[in-house]
Structure 1
Amino acid sequence: MKFKYLLLAPAALVAAGCAQLSPKEAVQPVVEPERAERSPVLPNVNLTNPLLFQYLVSEVAGQRGDMGLATEGMLDLAKTTRDPRLAKRATEMALQSRREAPALEAATLWQQIDPDEAQARQAVAAILLNSGRLQEAKPHLEKLLAGEGDKVGGALLHLNQMLSRQKDKPATLALVQELAAPYLNRAEAHFTIAYAAWSAGQDELALREIREASQLRSGWEAAVLFQGQLLQRTSISETLEFYRSLLGEYPKMQDVRLAYARLLVSDRQYVEARAQFEKLLNDLPGNPEVSLSVGLLAMQLKDYDAAEKHLKQALAGQYRDEAMVRMYLGQLFDERERYDEAADWYGSVGRGEQYVPAQIRRAAMLAKQGKLSEARQYLRQIPVLNNQQRVQVVVAEAHLLRDAKAYDEAFELLGKALEKLPNYPDLLYDHAMAAEKLGKIDVLEQDLRKLIQIKPDYAHAYNALGYTLADRTERLDEARQLIEKALELAPDDFFIMDSLGWVHYRMGQLDKAEDTLRRAYTGQHDAEIAAHLGEVLWARGKREEAEKIWRDALKENPGHETLLNVINKFIPAK
């Protein structure tokens, strides 16, 4: 069962911190199409004292925060005068006060008074959409699109923004298909349909539409990135080949190269990923984000000189999170066993979000040098600002004790902390893990069930409880249900997938166990997953493959306790 670590490994940072944009973000920023200035036709109304007085009363009421009175007065003025400027102002006031009915009434009046004003029609459409009245909004949207002429492409993309908050995604997709139907000779129409299809969970339709968009407008990077993200849901290898082929045709597509490099990191192809990042660095010299990515990949490949160079370049280029770069420079020198320099870098992290994690790393470095007592003392003198930071420090100390196999002390430390802070998820989780090491399964179950009650979306709590029940008891059906719930909450978590494979194995479902564990190991080459997969393969008579997986995992994780135990169980030392 996996513990959560205090800091992501460098490759994990590249993969997580450089995650691809969602399709929604890939479309952003989409600006509303520019409109030519026009002067509305104004009514022939004399500005009488009563009209002026009512106008001033409405504006003053608005300034004082009484938007109900302000809207009522301004809307009444607009009805009396039929002045589009007053109808517009009444619409603004009603929207500001979030009063849907008067906002729609004012906007409708504005649109009736000035039927050629696109802003008025757009206001009516937006208000109707905001209340989910899609079909009522449809004729207004159709007229808005028809009025765009050659700029209709931008207006079609703007639909994504207007419709993004709709809860009924299938109905939204149907509306978009109807609105886009007259413009299917334009790439933007297919992009908009693809986005709506993706939002509605219809990936196949989304993929067909985005491919059509790319054919109509070759080299459109936004469409390419969207297509890549859709492909990635089903096949990493197919997505990599798609990016590779496209870059052969369009080598200057920097965003596509960036997406390709990030996906290579996720697929653990670090050497090729580094080559792609270095190409980006040549095209974008001095770019701190790319420098950081290259530095972290070099660090993953243990090319420490190159890692130092690029991380310092990211720092010199004013990377947006300077403290994070300083912490990774500390980790770099820590791995090189240049502890004084590592301590300097950790110490240079200023007060802020990264301060406590950096000091925790510094304490872990002391423990690694055999100075456990000094490391614990260092942790206890870290100034904390709140209970959350206090919990971080306690959990860090417990991890040091766990690594030193001082399980009783870790359990006691976490227990005392829980007496003062009984409802903190991280304390409950780690206390449960310490209990597991001591065989206190009843305490583990009590902690994790309380954690699930406090935080019902905490996937790792369901997983930890399910795995423990599967591994230590015969409550296998209950274990499977807990793990399936965890996987529902975190469907892409390979460690939870490993737990599911393990419970299948314990239930005698060897086919399911092998299939699930292979998928988990493909996604995450972890030593514990390797141990489980090897055991299942051994049970199925595939002993040569099991031994190979164990040996390969042991090369990368020498001394791993779970891995050594399973190897000794099936291949006793002679």
Structure 2
Amino acid sequence: MPLPFRPNPCLLALGLAGALLTLPAAAADARKPRIEETSRTSRPPLNSAQLLAQMFLSEIALARGMLDDAAFGYSDLARQTNDTRIIRRANEIELARVMLHAQQKPEEAEAAIRKTLAQTPAAREKVLSQLPDIFSRNQDKNATVAIVRRLAEPYVQTAEAQYAIASVERDANHAAEAYAAARLAQSLKPDWEPAMLVLLETTPDARQAETADLLKAFCQRNPQAIDARVALARWLVQTRQTQEATDEARKLLATQPENPALSFAMVGVFVEAEAYADAEAQLQRLIDDNWGEADRLQLVLAQVQEAQGKTALALAGYDRIAVGTQFVAAQGRRARLLAATGQWPEARAALRNAAQRSPDDRARLLMQEALLLRQADRRAEALAVLDEVLAEHPDNIDALYDSALLAEQTGKPAELEKRLRRLLALDADHAHALNALAYSYVERNVRLGEAEKMLERAIQLEPEDPAILDSLGWLYFRQGKLPGAEELLRKAFALFPDPEVASHLIEVLWTAGKKDEARQQYREALSRHADDAVLNRTGKRLGL
């Protein structure tokens, strides 16, 4: 159903009428022809039925993708009612309309926005700060940077222009340019929260301490800046300043005790700071108030109770979660907790019972059982459970992969190859399957040429994966390519200091004649993993 009034909007109107809605009435009226003003002020006020009808029609237009109709309907309501909630909704729809136009015809949108910036100084700061949102749908991020820089260029001495530049440079992964613009935005307007937040997002590691000092000072000057204070609490906990983080979170909650979104945000801070009692209190309050997704909150609450050793409460909490998006995770946690308390039969029975309650989740629940068994080093039993899954779902990628690894660990390398080759027939670019099959060949020192091709493909798919780097380094060692092997294994160990990776690196260093370094690496690895079988075998074989 079309709206009673359908405008023929010009591009300039499309180019940020939403920003104009928030201007003082006098400033807005100064830009309107006198005849329009007369006709508008002479219109009778809307009654409740008319207001609801026009809102309803505008929302229908929005749902049908008729952004022009929806934007006109709400902007008309905003002018007639001056209601802040309607103005906010009008701005949201207008911004969506402008974003769509910027995506479809960026050159026209750029020209319209440039005109708006030049002709409406009162709205300029708002428009500049909205530029990143306006062009956010554009896939070509470098082109977006160029457009925003052109639009912002006449106003580069304003914080809003630098904020816009920083935001689009960040989205284009131009780290240095983003940080430089963000730092300038913050220095131009030290008490503007968006500038402070974009600076946090773009600060390189080497400047973290400096930005943290700026953030602390900002929050002291602006205690009402909730987003910045949330960011401060998170930064404190990430840098292991747990008591300071907990204190800041408690102060924040005291300022806005009825803000459920803030309560949920602070749950994360409390959990990471191991302030579990605080986290539990906030979660229970959110559940009691029926805020958010109940089962998600209940899952987190049960984990917090488990962390405090409240086993009975945690078990009951996991069991309270209904079949749905959180069900498998909850049942897996419940089974692991039962097993950890020595109740193995009950743990496995719980997962089987859960599979009966939710047949659609049976495969995932059986895989939770296999994981539980594997973590307890009951590999043959875990493999048997995965075979149950594969009997019902022979093309289950995860079950094929996990069962292949278990097959090799239980002395069945032929089964590993069979299962991984079936997996790769289903997904030729499964990097971890390529790596696992190739590593099996390298360990057995067979088919090294084929292993090399698989690992080269895997490293293309996952260039920073330490397991794949380790496998390729170990292959190079087998092939006698010691410099390449050492380089890859050093990188793998830096990313993932695992005892098996350490063993490979130690062997390469020893073979390359770097015996002192090999001994040092062995001592350090042994101090962290004294019981590791691979590491101990390597040390014994090399006489370390």
Q: Same fold (TM over 0.5)?
A: yes
How much has 1:321 moved relative to structure 2?
4.8
How much has 1:259 moved relative to structure 2?
3.9
Structure 2 stretches of 5 or more lacking a match? 1-15, 22-27, 37-56, 73-90
Matched, 1:368 2:340: yes
How many Å separate the matches in 1 of 2:282 and 2:400?
41
How many Å separate the matches in 2 of 1:260 and 1:31?
35
How much has 1:398 moved relative to structure 2?
1.3
Q: Deviations over 1:476-497 (max 9, x none)?
A: 5224324313425xx5x66556
**8 Å Cα contact 2:486/2:508 also seen in 1:** no
- Matched residue, 2:271: 296
Q: Deviations over 1:416-437 (max 9, x none)?
A: 3213212333222222222232
Matched, 1:431 2:399: no
- Matched residue, 2:19: 33
Change (3 A) 1:316 1:424: same
- Matched residue, 1:405: 377
**8 Å Cα contact 2:216/2:232 also seen in 1:** no
Matched, 1:565 2:534: yes
How much has 1:32 moved relative to structure 2?
4.0
Root-mean-square deviation over aligned CA pairs = 4.3
- Determine which of 247, 256, 281 is the counterpart of 1:278: 247
- Determine which of 312, 318, 331 is the counterpart of 2:281: 312
- Matched residue, 1:485: 460
**8 Å Cα contact 1:193/1:209 also seen in 2:** yes
- Determine which of 286, 294, 312 is the counterpart of 1:340: 312
How many Å separate the matches in 1 of 2:535 and 2:419?
28
How many Å separate the matches in 2 of 1:260 and 1:434?
45
- Determine which of 185, 189, 192 is the counterpart of 2:161: 189
- Matched residue, 1:51: none
- Matched residue, 2:368: 396
**8 Å Cα contact 1:372/1:400 also seen in 2:** no
Matched, 1:175 2:143: no
- Matched residue, 1:357: 329
**8 Å Cα contact 1:194/1:207 also seen in 2:** yes
Change (3 A) 1:197 1:348: same
Structure 1 stretches of 5 or more lacking a match? 1-29, 43-62, 68-88, 96-117, 300-305
Structure number with higher relative contact order (C-alpha < 8 Å, ≥ 6 residues apart): 1
How much has 1:529 moved relative to structure 2?
5.4
- Determine which of 163, 172, 176 is the counterpart of 2:135: 163
How much has 1:41 moved relative to structure 2?
6.4
How does the TM-score come out when normalised to structure 2? 0.69
How much has 1:551 moved relative to structure 2?
4.0
**8 Å Cα contact 1:210/1:223 also seen in 2:** yes
Q: Deviations over 1:201-240 (max 9, x none)?
A: 43322222222222222243333333333335xx3xx253
Change (3 A) 1:325 1:545: farther
Q: Deviations over 1:502-527 (max 9, x none)?
A: 55665532441344134304xxx666
- Aligned pairs for 1:192-271 (under 5 A) are 192-232=164-204, 235=205, 238-251=206-219, 252=223, 255-256=227-228, 258-259=230-231, 262=234, 269-270=239-240
Change (3 A) 1:501 1:249: farther
Q: Deviations over 1:459-488 (max 9, x none)?
A: 544554455454454535224324313425
How many Å separate the matches in 2 of 1:176 and 1:480?
42
Give 3-state SS (helix, strand or coil) of 1:382's partner: helix
How much has 1:94 moved relative to structure 2?
13
Give 3-state SS (helix, strand or coil) of 1:33's partner: helix
Change (3 A) 1:435 1:324: same
How many Å separate the matches in 2 of 1:260 and 1:538?
47
Q: Deviations over 1:242-270 (max 9, x none)?
A: 3432234334565455445545666xx54
How much has 1:170 moved relative to structure 2?
2.5
How many Å separate the matches in 1 of 2:185 and 2:99?
26
How much has 1:144 moved relative to structure 2?
1.9
Amino acid in the other structure paired with 2:455: R
Q: Deviations over 1:173-208 (max 9, x none)?
A: 222222111111111112222223333343322222
Matched, 1:129 2:97: no
- Matched residue, 2:354: 382
Amino acid in the other structure paired with 1:361: R
How much has 1:533 moved relative to structure 2?
5.7
Give 3-state SS (helix, strand or coil) of 1:167's partner: coil
Change (3 A) 1:148 1:298: same
- Matched residue, 1:106: none
How many Å separate the matches in 2 of 1:40 and 1:231?
50
How much has 1:152 moved relative to structure 2?
0.8
**8 Å Cα contact 1:156/1:189 also seen in 2:** yes
How many Å separate the matches in 2 of 1:459 and 1:402?
22
Q: Deviations over 1:411-455 (max 9, x none)?
A: 232123213212333222222222232344444345445545645
- Matched residue, 2:39: none
- Matched residue, 1:4: none
How many Å separate the matches in 1 of 2:185 and 2:377?
58
How many Å separate the matches in 2 of 1:411 and 1:517?
29
**8 Å Cα contact 2:318/2:330 also seen in 1:** yes
Change (3 A) 1:531 1:202: same
User: Could you tell which deviates more after superposition, 406-415 or 437-446?
Assistant: 437-446
How much has 1:307 moved relative to structure 2?
1.9
How does the TM-score come out when normalised to structure 1? 0.66
- Determine which of 512, 535, 558 is the counterpart of 2:487: 512
**8 Å Cα contact 1:32/1:155 also seen in 2:** no
- Matched residue, 1:8: none
User: Could you tell which deviates more after superposition, 202-211 or 536-545?
Assistant: 536-545
How many Å separate the matches in 1 of 2:17 and 2:253?
26
Give 3-state SS (helix, strand or coil) of 1:250's partner: helix
Amino acid in the other structure paired with 1:280: A
Q: Deviations over 1:271-318 (max 9, x none)?
A: x2453243222232355335423442354xxxxxx4245323332244
Amino acid in the other structure paired with 1:165: R
How many Å separate the matches in 1 of 2:522 and 2:116?
66
**8 Å Cα contact 1:243/1:257 also seen in 2:** no
How much has 1:335 moved relative to structure 2?
5.8
**8 Å Cα contact 2:367/2:399 also seen in 1:** yes
Give 3-state SS (helix, strand or coil) of 1:401's partner: helix
How many Å separate the matches in 2 of 1:94 and 1:328?
40
